[in-house]
Structure 1
Amino acid sequence: MLTLALRTARTRWVTFVGSFVALALGVGLLTTMGLGLAATLDAPRRLPERFAQAPVVVKGDDVLRVPVAGGERTARLAHPGPVTPELARLLAALGPTTEDRSFPVRAEGGPKHLVGHPWSVAAFAPYTLDAGRAPHADDEVVTTGWARPGARIDTDHGPLTVVGTVTDRGFEHAVFWTDARAARLSPAIDQLVVAADPTAVEVAVQNAVRALPGRDAEVRVLTGRDRRYADPDPERDSEALLAVNAALGTAGGVTGFVSVFVVASTFAFAVARRREEFALLRTVGATPGQIRRTVIAEALLLGVAASAAGCLLGAYGAPVFVSYLVDAGLAPRWFTLGDATWPFHAAFWAGLLVALAGAVAASWRAGRVAPAEALREAAFETRTMTPGRWIVGAGLLAAGLGTLAHALLTDPSDLLHRKTYISRPMLLIVAFALLSPVLVRPLVRSIAWLPARLPGAGGMLIRENASAGTRRTAAVAAPVLVTVALAGSLLGTTATLNEAKAAEIRWRTTADHVITAGAGGFDPATIERIRAVPGTEISATAATAVHVREEGTALIRSDARAVDPAALARTARLPLTAGTITDLDDDSVIVTEEWERHTVGSTVEVWLGDGTRRALRIAAVMSIGTGGNGAYVTPANAPGATVDRIDVRLATGADPRTVGAALAEAARPAGGRVLTADRWMSENRPGTGRTTRAGLLLVLGIALLYTGIGLANTLVMATSDRARDLTVLRLAGAGRGQVLRMVAGESLLVVLVGAIAGTLVAALNLAGIRAALGVLHARGVLVIPWDALAATYGACAAVAVAAAVVPAALCLRRGAAERAGKRG
């Protein structure tokens, strides 16, 4: 049987090529994604930068450690503590010490992120003078090359003279003052370099920390490679890789889903279109088992060859893909491929298993055709919906809708998480694809109702061909369904969530002006100048965080704002479900319903932004909304937090322009920007982050590319299989142009069927998102990305028409040549 099948393979080379291309590209994409994902699993071993030459660095407490069942949980503090003067004096007895201070600097014409340090710590990088000299006076500084010696610069700390420069080492833009001037500008000691035995320093630090009650933060003693934790943003490599890992993980998951879906659909259609061949084999005595074994053996041979080709394609494509990620800013500049081999194994075996699974599922039905029914089965499609397809399709549809309903009833906020709204549509996509033959006939007849009644037979033929070839129509519509559903669901969900977040901001902001701070925030003097502007009421708030232990095992961080309750009540509106803003005091906190404990009057144990442990009473509870409501505390429970935003409410009769000018004048010394509420909301309108949006477009681009190839494959196979039908139409008197227009119209009709089904899937997913927002008391409207959907429709239509018309034209040309030969 296998020998016979292989000898007749030349008559079905289009089918083999189509299946080979679909599988090879799928495996190639999986290999590429796998290689990229493997490269994100190991961050480069970053060496210390600012303190590369320091013997021992003592860093103020910046890590929170909370005991939980079975161990402890750690978190980065929002407000790291300084090295206390007492600890500094204790360590000075062990050996020479150097105090490090870091503080933001604003310089006219200087770099955006500029930081100040005392000159004595420059030697530990090491920074070396390449021009000029070290600073000696309060108004003298050394820079990292962004301003040359002799230059006068205006800063928020007064006019300065650059007396020297050091070589820029690439990790910061710095200004170095004398040690005495830096100590007056920033009295707190951020880090302390100690020239002493590390063990002795460790013991001294531990003894000093034990004397601080109510704190679970850790003062760290850094030596060796750990000195990098004293550098600015020491986790930037790991965080960058984590973002790339999340993007590639999502892209890989969607790629795997789309490739499995398209490959399985292509293989099933390739087997289904061989009904006539199987009918003849069954008539001459072939058993169902022989037919199944033949199909499986062919799939095995094809799967091995295509999977191997896909791995080779991925090996060449992965470097190009990584270069794209770096150039697009999705990955850091140092990101490169590693030497992992597991992606090749995973992609190869996944491709082979998918090929076999698709062939087995289709061959089982082909092998069950009885000899007496063989020719009837080959001539006309019967029972497109098998019992197994009904059961699986209906089960997946019920699972998709059931899990959606369960989430709405139990945890609606989970539907707003990226992993959930990316993965959840896949259940409905597969369900609709399996049930698509049920939808094909009514959709085709509804869409083609008007064209079928126009003069001429073209519309009628388009309708009847699409209706009669249900399996073919469903197979062609499936890739369109996947792409449209993914585009509508992903882009529509992000747009809907952004609109809901924007609506929350608009509803909550009742101030007339918002003043935002520059680097370093607002100092008390600036706040008092702003408060003194006539005709205003202000609410000065600071960003902070609180941590809470939930279920005894998890340490949850909540972003928070430190506020004056009375002032906040006059300039903002909180989505409270219980309690009032003015009930907030130094012994209480405002939380959201997302907290494990959220009953007004109950007490919750929290860790403040500096690591201090407090038991606070819940004064009020807010709705969850889109997840950005956070928590509110008073300034007494936000030690170390600096005011970074001031909301201003105008008094009745106050002139907005006059008050705005006065506010701008008061805020200017601190680098503050005064914006009207509308302008501030416009500038801070929530949007999809650049990395997230690029990741989504990457996912959709891969899906569109791959489904386009799958669509073209299926149409080429389907059209080449209809050469006899097209020739009959020509013999019946249809012109070449009429036949080609009919083929193009039929392909457009099938694309429209897939597009409608995909839009329905997207609408169901978006309806679930909107329902979740409603349950969470979030405002906003449902946003359907019609522009993206229209572009997807157009791309699929263009691919479908080209993939159908070109093979049809070749078939007609070959048929004309054959007829001419017969006449000769």
Structure 2
Amino acid sequence: MLTLALRTLRTRWTAFTGGFVALALGVALLTVMGLALASAADAPDRAPRRFAAAPVVVRGEDTLRVPTPTGVRTAALDRPRPVPPRTVAALRALGEVTEDRSFPVRIEGGPPSLVGHPWSTAAFAPYELSAGRAPRTADEVVTTGRWAAPGDRLRTGHGTVRVVGTVTGPGVEDAVFCTDARAARLAPVSDQLVVDADPADVRRVVGDRAQVLTGDARRLADPDPGRDAAAVTALNSLFGTAGGVAAFVSVFVMASTFAFTVAQRRREFGLLRLAGATPGQVRRTVTAEALLVGVAASAAGCALGGYAAPHLAAHTVAGGLAPDWFAIGDHTWPYHAAFWTGLTVALCGVTATSWRAGRTRPAEALREASVDHGALTRGRLLAGTALLATAAGTAGWALLTDPGELLHRKTYVSRPMLLITAVALLSPLLVRPLIRLVAWPASRLPGAGGVLVRENAAAGVRRAASVAAPVLVTVALTGSLLGATATLDAAGAAEARSRTAADFVVTAPDLDEAAVRRLGAVPGTAAVSATATAAVYVVEEGVALVRSAARAADPRALAATTRLPVTSGRLTGLDDDSIVVNEEWERHTVGERIPVLLGDGTRRTLRVAAVLAIGTGDNGVYVTPANAPRAPVDRVEVTVADGADRDAVAAGLREAVRSSDARVRTAAAWLAATAPRSDGTTRLGFLLVLGIALVYAAIALAGTQVMATAGRRRELTALRLAGATAPQVLRLVAAEALTVAAVGALLGVLVAALNLLTMTGALSLLSAPSAPVLPWPALGAAAGGCALTAVVFAVLPVTRATRTTASAGRPRGRRP
């Protein structure tokens, strides 16, 4: 069997090239993914940067710990607790204490994420003066980087300042240093400080009231210390998704390629049966062929993945998708995992096909008919129906029990694969009527070309299904993935518009009470609602500690500037003893009292005043400012009184926050600026997945068309002998390929539409109705790319074949 398989591969190498390349690319991607995961797991601990020269850093507690029957549950607090004043006083007795006070700074023309610090903390990085001197008065500052120079005057939200020096340092952030006295006024509360004392003495004084950071642990006081972990998690998700899709499409392409190969070789298998080969021997021959292809492709894929992984890692670092320390390490297990996975994929892809080959009857050797019969076998019909029923059943169950599950990325990435496989298995049942539908306009034109295209394409059901399958995969994934994000973004934007009743929105990192009072005093305003970003924690089902984003606001002003989707209760019933929750909470009955933990960890038992619909997930919790300690006011919504001049009100609002770091925008402009958008990692992940699908589609289409041409030589000879010219034959073949590609695109759009309809159904049940958004430009590009590939690889082999058949059809002898 092995010798026969080797000879078959040598003589029919074109039939196996598509599967080989597809599997090699899949294994390469799995190798890259495995190497990336292994390298991320060996991530080095980041060294401290902002406090690298600090002896001891004392940081307020930033972790919430809640005991449950199954153990202690932890969550990051909304903001660290300040170090208790008594503890600070006791630490001053041990040595010099420097309080770190940080506050946001916005400067016109400056970096977007500026932060202010007292000058005394610059020595702990250390930052060193590269020009100028240290600040001495309240209107003097020192800046990092090269975006400002000594002598520049900068207009900030806290007034105009003059740059008197610049510093160089670790580059952990874009910072502005002012005098310690000015920093104390701008940031009265400090949640971390530096102590010049013995660490053991500091731990004895602090106890469990704060964190004592020394050595490498001082990195926890750097800005956003968890960004590396978040970046690696996003990177793992990116490669995991791409690897899963690669494995799925590899199996799909391998199965499709081998299925069509077996269909093309049924006379060959019939001859083997006539020569005495048993069904088992035929099955083992086909399996041996797949095994040989799998071994060679997996080895090539491992080599390609090992070469590509470092380049891809460098690209992700350069694009800001991975930390700057991320690099591919020296690991061997990813190669083993990828190789054996690729071999398993090859064998899985050929299993059903080998059984079909083994059932070939000896009489197949005598068959001359070109019309496919029995393309949809009983097993294929049962499998396709079962998968279709599973897809429908799971979607229906999710809609009835947990509609929000259908909106998660892992769900709308994986669900299309189930439906794609079901439709592909049932494609022989759908291809013929769709071909007749697509080709009907051409068949009504004068001449026999349109009718011939329709009948030829409809007669070769197996060939048509094999060509349509990769187009189906590409178009369906494009529509499902890009359409899912577009649909969710459209639903989120519509939900935000429906919630907003204000005319103007004022935003800032932190608005003080004086600025809020000035906004409320602007003539022509009807209602002014100041809201702060906060958090609330609740233990659900007795074991899960759940964090919910919260907004803190005065309930009456909030009701006048927003239209929240209240399903029960009253928004104006909110007070310091109550809370507004959404239907996603385990306990959400109006009047029920729920034990919660506030953003700083304070325990409270609050009464449910109102319940909101879940929506797209942005309908969070609402509390009063008394239950949001230290939460900064970052948004003020303003409605204009009837008859008031909107331009005058806008000018008054800008004047009210002139001395603050705030922006005044119309509600429409604010909604446009804050509209939901997919992040860079998600977009890159989907583009990578769709790129994989398009490459696999091209491979499968090229291989199928080359194999199909080899089996149509007699048909092409008959056409030439019947008087058809070479250009006519080429146009006929191109039209057939285009027709079948259009059928695959129609099936792909159908699958994408069904997936998006499931999502819109879930959104409607969550009180966020939205129409499905099909990404027509992307769908057109995917379908066009597949159609072009199908036509090119159908016409190129036929060009040579028509020349051969033309030569064979000419009578021999001397020309007259």
* Contact 1:716/1:804 (<8 A) preserved: yes
* 1:714-766 superposed Cα distances (whole Å, 9 cap, x missing partner): 11121222122212211221110111111101101111111111111111111
Q: Secondary structure at the match of 2:61?
A: strand
Q: How many angstroms does 1:111 deviate by? A: 2.8
Residue 468 (1) aligns with residue 450 (2)? no
Separation (CA, whole Å) in 2 of partners of 1:576 and 1:707: 48
Alignment size in residue pairs = 812
Aligned position for 1:340: 331
Residue 798 (1) aligns with residue 799 (2)? no
Separation (CA, whole Å) in 1 of partners of 2:405 and 2:762: 9
Of 762-771 and 297-306, the range deviating more from structure 2: 297-306
Residue 505 (1) aligns with residue 496 (2)? yes
Residue 524 (1) aligns with residue 502 (2)? no
Separation (CA, whole Å) in 2 of partners of 1:5 and 1:564: 78
Closer, same or farther: CA 129–623 of 1 in aligned 2, 3 Å: same
Aligned counterparts, 1:334-733, within 5 A: 334-372=325-363, 374-376=365-367, 381-517=372-508, 519=509, 521-536=510-525, 537-733=527-723
Q: How many angstroms does 1:484 deviate by? A: 0.8
Q: How many angstroms does 1:12 deviate by? A: 2.0
* Contact 1:540/1:563 (<8 A) preserved: yes
Aligned position for 1:35: 35
* 1:428-471 superposed Cα distances (whole Å, 9 cap, x missing partner): 00000111111111111222223233332222222222222111
Please tell me the residue identity of whatever aligns with 1:39: S
Aligned position for 1:197: 198
Q: How many angstroms does 1:49 deviate by? A: 0.7
Aligned position for 1:750: 740
Separation (CA, whole Å) in 1 of partners of 2:144 and 2:114: 10
Aligned counterparts, 1:225-264, within 5 A: 225-264=216-255
Q: Secondary structure at the match of 2:741?
A: helix
Aligned position for 1:174: 175
* Contact 1:486/1:700 (<8 A) preserved: yes
Q: State the TM-score, normalizing by the size of structure 2.
A: 0.96
**Among 722, 736, 747, the residue aligned to 2:726:** 736
Closer, same or farther: CA 59–685 of 1 in aligned 2, 3 Å: same
Aligned counterparts, 1:110-129, within 5 A: 110-129=110-129
Please tell me the residue identity of whatever aligns with 1:168: G
Separation (CA, whole Å) in 2 of partners of 1:659 and 1:16: 72
Aligned position for 1:93: 93
Q: What residue ranges of structure 1 are gaps of 5+ in the alignment? A: 210-218
Of 548-557 and 354-363, the range deviating more from structure 2: 354-363
* Contact 1:272/1:362 (<8 A) preserved: no
* Contact 2:734/2:795 (<8 A) preserved: yes
Q: How many angstroms does 1:4 deviate by? A: 4.3
Q: How many angstroms does 1:371 deviate by? A: 2.6
Please tell me the residue identity of whatever aligns with 2:29: L
Q: How many angstroms does 1:37 deviate by? A: 3.9
Q: How many angstroms does 1:53 deviate by? A: 1.7
Q: How many angstroms does 1:40 deviate by? A: 3.4
Please tell me the residue identity of whatever aligns with 1:30: L
Closer, same or farther: CA 717–35 of 1 in aligned 2, 3 Å: farther
Please tell me the residue identity of whatever aligns with 2:13: W
Separation (CA, whole Å) in 1 of partners of 2:607 and 2:762: 29
Closer, same or farther: CA 624–145 of 1 in aligned 2, 3 Å: closer
Please tell me the residue identity of whatever aligns with 2:189: A
Separation (CA, whole Å) in 2 of partners of 1:672 and 1:138: 21
Q: Secondary structure at the match of 1:49?
A: coil
Of 2-11 and 346-355, the range deviating more from structure 2: 2-11
Separation (CA, whole Å) in 1 of partners of 2:535 and 2:385: 47
Separation (CA, whole Å) in 2 of partners of 1:377 and 1:557: 69
Of 712-721 and 626-635, the range deviating more from structure 2: 712-721
Separation (CA, whole Å) in 1 of partners of 2:533 and 2:688: 34
Q: Secondary structure at the match of 2:452?
A: helix
What RMSD over aligned residues (CA atoms) do the two structures have, in Å?
2.1
Q: How many angstroms does 1:151 deviate by? A: 4.0
Q: State the TM-score, normalizing by the size of structure 1.
A: 0.95
* Contact 2:250/2:345 (<8 A) preserved: no
Aligned position for 1:213: none
Q: How many angstroms does 1:10 deviate by? A: 4.5
Separation (CA, whole Å) in 2 of partners of 1:109 and 1:423: 44
* 1:409-437 superposed Cα distances (whole Å, 9 cap, x missing partner): 00001111111111111110000011111
* 1:129-177 superposed Cα distances (whole Å, 9 cap, x missing partner): 3333333333333332443344444434444343433213211222223
Separation (CA, whole Å) in 1 of partners of 2:317 and 2:725: 53
Of 246-255 and 525-534, the range deviating more from structure 2: 246-255
* Contact 1:708/1:799 (<8 A) preserved: yes
* Contact 2:717/2:809 (<8 A) preserved: no
* 1:653-689 superposed Cα distances (whole Å, 9 cap, x missing partner): 2111111111111112113222222222222222222
Separation (CA, whole Å) in 2 of partners of 1:42 and 1:659: 57
Separation (CA, whole Å) in 2 of partners of 1:366 and 1:764: 34
The percent of aligned pairs where both chains have the same amino acid is 63
Separation (CA, whole Å) in 1 of partners of 2:576 and 2:353: 69
* 1:788-819 superposed Cα distances (whole Å, 9 cap, x missing partner): 11111111110000010001111122333445
* 1:529-554 superposed Cα distances (whole Å, 9 cap, x missing partner): 11111221201111111111111221
Separation (CA, whole Å) in 1 of partners of 2:667 and 2:122: 43
Please tell me the residue identity of whatever aligns with 2:450: G
Please tell me the residue identity of whatever aligns with 2:427: S
Of 285-294 and 7-16, the range deviating more from structure 2: 7-16
Separation (CA, whole Å) in 2 of partners of 1:769 and 1:730: 52
Please tell me the residue identity of whatever aligns with 1:140: E
Closer, same or farther: CA 205–132 of 1 in aligned 2, 3 Å: same
Of 722-731 and 417-426, the range deviating more from structure 2: 722-731
Separation (CA, whole Å) in 2 of partners of 1:817 and 1:121: 88
Closer, same or farther: CA 371–267 of 1 in aligned 2, 3 Å: closer
Aligned position for 1:46: 46
* Contact 1:22/1:266 (<8 A) preserved: no
Q: How many angstroms does 1:9 deviate by? A: 4.6
Please tell me the residue identity of whatever aligns with 2:520: R
Aligned position for 1:276: 267
Please tell me the residue identity of whatever aligns with 2:521: A
Separation (CA, whole Å) in 1 of partners of 2:5 and 2:188: 85
* Contact 1:513/1:649 (<8 A) preserved: yes
* Contact 2:439/2:450 (<8 A) preserved: yes
Q: Secondary structure at the match of 1:573?
A: coil
Of 55-64 and 26-35, the range deviating more from structure 2: 26-35
Separation (CA, whole Å) in 1 of partners of 2:476 and 2:292: 33
Q: How many angstroms does 1:702 deviate by? A: 1.8
Aligned position for 2:189: 188
Q: How many angstroms does 1:19 deviate by? A: 3.0
Please tell me the residue identity of whatever aligns with 1:382: H
Q: How many angstroms does 1:586 deviate by? A: 0.4
Of 96-105 and 754-763, the range deviating more from structure 2: 96-105
Separation (CA, whole Å) in 2 of partners of 1:468 and 1:745: 15
Separation (CA, whole Å) in 2 of partners of 1:591 and 1:803: 59
